Structure 1
Amino acid sequence: MRFKKAQSSANQLAKTAISNGPIKGINRKIKALKRIHYGFKNIDHFYARILLIVK
Protein backbone atom coordinates (compact mmCIF):
# COMPACT_ATOMS: atom_id res chain seq x y z
CA MET A 1 0.00 0.00 0.00
CA ARG A 2 2.71 2.47 0.98
CA PHE A 3 4.78 1.68 -2.06
CA LYS A 4 1.89 2.33 -4.45
CA LYS A 5 1.15 5.67 -2.78
CA ALA A 6 4.82 6.68 -2.93
CA GLN A 7 5.06 5.53 -6.53
CA SER A 8 1.99 7.56 -7.43
CA SER A 9 3.49 10.65 -5.77
CA ALA A 10 6.78 10.13 -7.56
CA ASN A 11 5.02 9.77 -10.90
CA GLN A 12 3.06 12.96 -10.30
CA LEU A 13 6.23 14.84 -9.40
CA ALA A 14 7.91 13.63 -12.58
CA LYS A 15 4.97 14.83 -14.67
CA THR A 16 4.62 18.30 -13.14
CA ALA A 17 8.18 19.03 -11.94
CA ILE A 18 6.76 21.17 -9.13
CA SER A 19 8.54 21.14 -5.79
CA ASN A 20 7.46 22.33 -2.36
CA GLY A 21 11.09 23.10 -1.48
CA PRO A 22 10.78 26.90 -1.80
CA ILE A 23 7.76 26.97 0.52
CA LYS A 24 9.55 24.82 3.08
CA GLY A 25 12.52 27.19 2.92
CA ILE A 26 10.31 30.22 3.57
CA ASN A 27 8.61 28.45 6.48
CA ARG A 28 12.01 27.58 7.95
CA LYS A 29 13.08 31.23 7.78
CA ILE A 30 9.83 32.39 9.43
CA LYS A 31 10.27 29.85 12.25
CA ALA A 32 13.82 31.05 12.82
CA LEU A 33 12.57 34.64 12.90
CA LYS A 34 9.92 33.64 15.45
CA ARG A 35 12.64 32.25 17.71
CA ILE A 36 14.66 35.45 17.38
CA HIS A 37 11.66 37.74 18.05
CA TYR A 38 10.36 35.85 21.07
CA GLY A 39 9.30 38.40 23.68
CA PHE A 40 9.17 41.43 21.41
CA LYS A 41 6.12 43.60 22.06
CA ASN A 42 5.49 45.03 18.59
CA ILE A 43 3.99 42.38 16.33
CA ASP A 44 3.92 44.78 13.37
CA HIS A 45 7.72 44.69 13.19
CA PHE A 46 7.57 40.90 13.09
CA TYR A 47 5.14 40.95 10.15
CA ALA A 48 7.29 43.53 8.36
CA ARG A 49 10.33 41.29 8.74
CA ILE A 50 8.36 38.35 7.34
CA LEU A 51 7.47 40.40 4.28
CA LEU A 52 11.14 41.29 3.82
CA ILE A 53 12.10 37.61 3.98
CA VAL A 54 9.46 36.50 1.51
CA LYS A 55 10.26 39.08 -1.17
Structure 2
Amino acid sequence: MTTLKKNLKSVSNSCELSLSNGPIEGVNRKINALKHSHYRFKNIDHFYASIFLIVK
Protein backbone atom coordinates (compact mmCIF):
# COMPACT_ATOMS: atom_id res chain seq x y z
CA MET A 1 0.00 0.00 0.00
CA THR A 2 2.89 2.34 0.73
CA THR A 3 4.28 1.85 -2.77
CA LEU A 4 0.89 2.63 -4.29
CA LYS A 5 0.64 5.82 -2.26
CA LYS A 6 4.13 6.89 -3.41
CA ASN A 7 3.34 6.20 -7.08
CA LEU A 8 -0.32 7.20 -7.15
CA LYS A 9 0.18 9.96 -9.74
CA SER A 10 2.05 7.60 -12.08
CA VAL A 11 -0.56 4.88 -11.68
CA SER A 12 -3.41 7.27 -12.41
CA ASN A 13 -1.56 8.64 -15.46
CA SER A 14 -1.04 5.14 -16.83
CA CYS A 15 -4.77 4.43 -16.47
CA GLU A 16 -5.80 7.68 -18.16
CA LEU A 17 -3.27 7.78 -21.02
CA SER A 18 -2.67 5.15 -23.67
CA LEU A 19 1.11 5.67 -23.83
CA SER A 20 3.42 2.73 -23.29
CA ASN A 21 7.12 1.99 -23.59
CA GLY A 22 6.33 -1.64 -24.43
CA PRO A 23 7.26 -1.43 -28.14
CA ILE A 24 10.63 0.17 -27.34
CA GLU A 25 11.35 -2.47 -24.70
CA GLY A 26 10.48 -5.19 -27.22
CA VAL A 27 12.97 -3.84 -29.76
CA ASN A 28 15.61 -3.53 -27.04
CA ARG A 29 15.03 -7.18 -26.03
CA LYS A 30 15.39 -8.31 -29.64
CA ILE A 31 18.65 -6.40 -30.07
CA ASN A 32 20.05 -7.88 -26.86
CA ALA A 33 19.05 -11.38 -27.97
CA LEU A 34 20.80 -10.75 -31.30
CA LYS A 35 23.95 -9.62 -29.47
CA HIS A 36 23.98 -12.76 -27.33
CA SER A 37 23.23 -15.21 -30.12
CA HIS A 38 25.63 -13.75 -32.69
CA TYR A 39 28.27 -12.10 -30.61
CA ARG A 40 31.68 -11.50 -32.14
CA PHE A 41 30.42 -10.32 -35.49
CA LYS A 42 33.35 -10.14 -37.86
CA ASN A 43 32.03 -6.92 -39.32
CA ILE A 44 30.15 -4.28 -37.32
CA ASP A 45 28.20 -3.35 -40.46
CA HIS A 46 26.66 -6.85 -40.49
CA PHE A 47 25.56 -6.34 -36.92
CA TYR A 48 23.94 -2.99 -37.77
CA ALA A 49 22.27 -4.53 -40.81
CA SER A 50 20.82 -7.29 -38.60
CA ILE A 51 19.48 -4.68 -36.18
CA PHE A 52 17.93 -2.79 -39.08
CA LEU A 53 16.17 -5.97 -40.23
CA ILE A 54 14.80 -6.55 -36.72
CA VAL A 55 13.55 -3.01 -36.29
CA LYS A 56 12.04 -2.76 -39.74
**TM-score of Structure 1 vs Structure 2, range by shorter chain:** 0.7 to 0.9
Is there any run of 5+ residues in structure 2 with no aligned partner, and where?
none
Give the structure-2-normalised TM-score: 0.81
Corresponding residue of 2:38: 37
Q: What is the count of residue pairs matched by the alignment?
A: 55
User: What does the per-residue CA deviation read over 1:1-55, in whole Å, with 9 as the maximum and x for residues that have no partner?
Assistant: 6333322111111222111111111100000000122112101011011111111
Q: CA RMSD in A?
A: 1.4
| Identity within the alignment, % | 58
Which consecutive segments of 4 or more residues in structure 1 shift more than 4 A? Answer: none
Corresponding residue of 1:46: 47
